[in-house]
A and B are shown apart, each in its own frame.
Chain A
């Protein structure tokens, strides 16, 4: 188990969002967390990436409590791409990706050949080598998202947490980003945990789905086990048919309508 949440209680101030949740992430898998807005999926991902300190319970990274490992050491093992990250104005793609080397650098070792190599490799893998000198704000949404993923890759971690990496992207760019994630997983055996909104894409690109509602895990397992008509009613209050995706064979959700509420 690479990453584990054990009885975590999560929230902001007095507002508790997740209480007593358990979740384990196996090495070398792509896990996608789904659930309606406000169900606590992003909150859970932030806790797994030690961006949010649990009010109770613990998060374990490779069996050790993540808050007891120096944050810099964590950054060498675990990369996190927060939701809608913001970069300083005018920053170039190369500068952004180079920032990913931060945990490996010290005041006297600021730009080693390792750093240079890792940045070049990360730019290559995300297909951004030609855009390296362009300012980030001049890129399309899909390119920008790839640049952020590239930064996380330059960090050189084999564990990646991505919070809604496809938000605000059109369908083609969503697929582009998810293909990259699949590639990272298949080529380098990286362990990936994502939060996604699109159920059909989630089913297609994940080994394992985790469905959450109101701060609890309702179901978890292979996409065809989790994404059932019954679960959609329970978790999303959605009346839908689930058929086989004609391209990938994974479950495909065809909505009928919302369940009458009240």
Chain B
């Protein structure tokens, strides 16, 4: 694989040309999808109307662009990037292409607390729409996601952390959480559970700046930290003894990278619910395009943003005027991909 040395003064890197190409192509694609997302909808707009609407506060389109379409599309892109980055980290650490934030207990844990919150707090009709819906649900999801991850990590830890053990424990815990979720859905009031169903499918409906801001902030902090950990991640693909011999403190390095993955997934889930398959598929797509040994972090994030933004465009417009939860589209696109992955690994 072509990796060119890039040296500036004392600084030096190895640059993969296909990684650079994927990054640039991905960003162009993302910009195109964002523009399409601005134009298409109940009120179709030309590109010049979109531009006017964006910058002219007095124009008719301003509200539609700035308060509805732009924050929703941005939330989608940011959440997709966060999920994909989280998936890339976990797949590298677990050395398993089928690992994703689900096995860390994040998404399933969040589903349990959110469904519990909606079912328990939603007894009075309409009483949930205010505070619980905007502030309460993301906070509950964040709490549930972190708790779920703590349970998995605690059970998987045994004088260090082993990738396979983590995956096995994660699958077990996810099964328990999923069944608790279904039990809550069964005993809950039908109106509450239908709201909950939309959330647990992963949806970008009605996402505003209050969802963009925390996700953007989390990414702004976590992406640079994660990129600094890239070298440890490369080393951690070897056996623990080799990693130690190379001068890496295995357990702290692994714990920090897992923490970053958990936070990324938890923040994304808090904003848009557990959107399926983005975290699983994006790193594997990026890996196959770039041809590197493990999922490339930045490229995975860009693929995740493109996938989620594209899927939401379909979710919003394919069955207009009915808007699907974006998670249903990513699942429909992702499931065949998952089968394809398993099929390939059989050979």
Indicate whether A and B interact: yes
Chain A residues with a Cβ under 8 A of chain B: 13, 46, 49-51, 70-76, 79-82, 85-88, 90-91, 95, 99-100, 102-103, 105, 107-113, 115-116, 152, 155
In this complex, the interface size class of chain B, counting residues with CB under 8 Å from chain A, is 20 to 34
* B245, CB-defined interface residue at 8 Å: yes
B245 partner, pick from A75, A87, A107, A108, beta carbons under 8 A: A75
Contact A107 B228 (CB under 8 A): yes
Contact B11 A109 (CB under 8 A): yes
Alpha-carbon distance between A113 and B10 when the two chains are bound, in angstroms: 10
* B294, CB-defined interface residue at 8 Å: yes
On chain A, the residues within 8 Å of B235 by CB distance are 99, 102
Contact B293 A90 (CB under 8 A): yes
A86 partner, pick from B5, B227, B228, B239, beta carbons under 8 A: B239
On chain A, the residues within 8 Å of B12 by CB distance are 108-113, 115
Contact A105 B231 (CB under 8 A): yes
Q: List 6 A-B contacts (CB under 8 A).
A: A71-B249, A82-B242, A88-B238, A99-B238, A107-B227, A112-B10
Contact B247 A76 (CB under 8 A): yes
B residues 1-43 near A (Cβ < 8 Å) are: 5-7, 10-14
Contact A86 B238 (CB under 8 A): yes
Contact A51 B241 (CB under 8 A): yes
Q: With A71-B248, A85-B239, A109-B10 given, is the CB distance from A102 to B293 under 8 Å?
A: no
Besides A72-B247, A109-B10, 16 new A-B residue pairs in contact (Cβ under 8 A), listed by A number: A51-B241, A51-B245, A71-B244, A82-B242, A85-B239, A86-B239, A91-B293, A102-B248, A105-B231, A107-B227, A107-B231, A108-B11, A108-B13, A111-B6, A111-B14, A152-B245
Alpha-carbon distance between A71 and B246 when the two chains are bound, in angstroms: 8
On chain A, the residues within 8 Å of B7 by CB distance are 111-113
Alpha-carbon distance between A88 and B292 when the two chains are bound, in angstroms: 11
On chain B, the residues within 8 Å of A107 by CB distance are 227-228, 230-231
On chain B, the residues within 8 Å of A70 by CB distance are 247
Interface of B is mostly: mixed
Closest to A148 in B: B242
On chain A, the residues within 8 Å of B231 by CB distance are 102, 105, 107, 110
Nearest 5 CB-CB pairings of A with B:
A75-B247, A82-B241, A72-B247, A103-B247, A80-B245
Contact A87 B238 (CB under 8 A): yes
* B237, CB-defined interface residue at 8 Å: yes
On chain B, the residues within 8 Å of A81 by CB distance are 245
On chain A, the residues within 8 Å of B247 by CB distance are 70-76, 102-103
On chain A, the residues within 8 Å of B248 by CB distance are 71-72, 102
Contact A85 B293 (CB under 8 A): no
- Shortest Cβ gap from A95 to chain B (Å): 7
A-contact bits for B271-299, CB 8 A (1 contact / 0 none): 00000000000000000000001100000
On chain B, the residues within 8 Å of A82 by CB distance are 239, 241-242, 245
- Shortest Cβ gap from A179 to chain B (Å): 23
Q: With A51-B241, A111-B13 given, is the CB distance from A103 to B293 under 8 Å?
A: no
* B95, CB-defined interface residue at 8 Å: yes
Contact B13 A88 (CB under 8 A): no
* B234, CB-defined interface residue at 8 Å: yes
Contact A110 B293 (CB under 8 A): no
- Shortest Cβ gap from B159 to chain A (Å): 8
Q: With A105-B231, A110-B13 given, is the CB distance from A88 to B241 under 8 Å?
A: no
Alpha-carbon distance between A81 and B247 when the two chains are bound, in angstroms: 13
- Shortest Cβ gap from A201 to chain B (Å): 24
A-contact bits for B93-128, CB 8 A (1 contact / 0 none): 001000000000000000000000000000000000
